Amino acid sequence: MSCFPYCAVGRVIKGFGRGSKELGIPTANYPEDVVERLPQEIQGGVYYGWANVDNGTVFKMVMSIGNNPYYKNEKRSMETHIIHKFEEDFYGSTLKTVMLGFIRPMKNFSSLDELVTEIHADIAHAKEKLELPENLAHKDNKFFDESDKKLSF
């Protein structure tokens, strides 16, 4: 897709509360206005890239974009799993992401276990892809250094 790298920024909002509690895979969710600004080329699916919170350390991430068929969500969402263990929630913080590539399309699952297994496979795939030199270079993307004052929320 020609829209990569795609940079997004916004305040972390409360999602459905399933990532941490039900799946054991916490996510940081963007508000609707960030989701609505996505380019048309970015369809529902799972993507990989880099992320940081409040201009901190840049970590690997996977992002689910779409309606999550397993949960039959009505609204499209952008749910980012940062591949790092945070000690506490960071609702209201500034999340910056640089999406670099596509892993798979959005799909339904027959069980919660199947969904969790697939998410862990997505995470492993993202880790591998982000070690490639062309993707590793984006860890230092200047977008992560930009002041929040220039950004709209």
Question: How is 26-65 classified by DSSP, letter by letter?
Answer: --EE--HHHHHTS-TT--SEEEEEEEEETT---EEEEEEE
User: What three-state secondary structure class fits 126?
Assistant: helix
**pLDDT on residue 24:** 83
Fold exhibited by the domain 6-138: Elongation Factor Tu (Ef-tu); domain 3 (2.40.30)
Catalytic residue among 36, 79, 87, 146: 79
Which residues of the chain are under the pLDDT cut of 70? 1, 16-22, 68-74, 148-153
Q: Are 70 and 109 in contact (CB under 8 A)?
A: yes
Question: Which amino acid does the sequence have at 144?
Answer: F
Give ∠ CA 98-67-23 in degrees, rounded to 5: 80
Q: What is the DSSP letter of 19?
A: I
Q: Could you identify the residue written with the tokens 């459905």?
A: 16
Q: Which residues pair with 9 in a beta bridge?
A: 96
**pLDDT on residue 23:** 76
Q: Are 89 and 50 in contact (CB under 8 A)?
A: no
- Domain-by-domain residue ranges, the chain? 6-138
79 carries an active-site annotation: yes
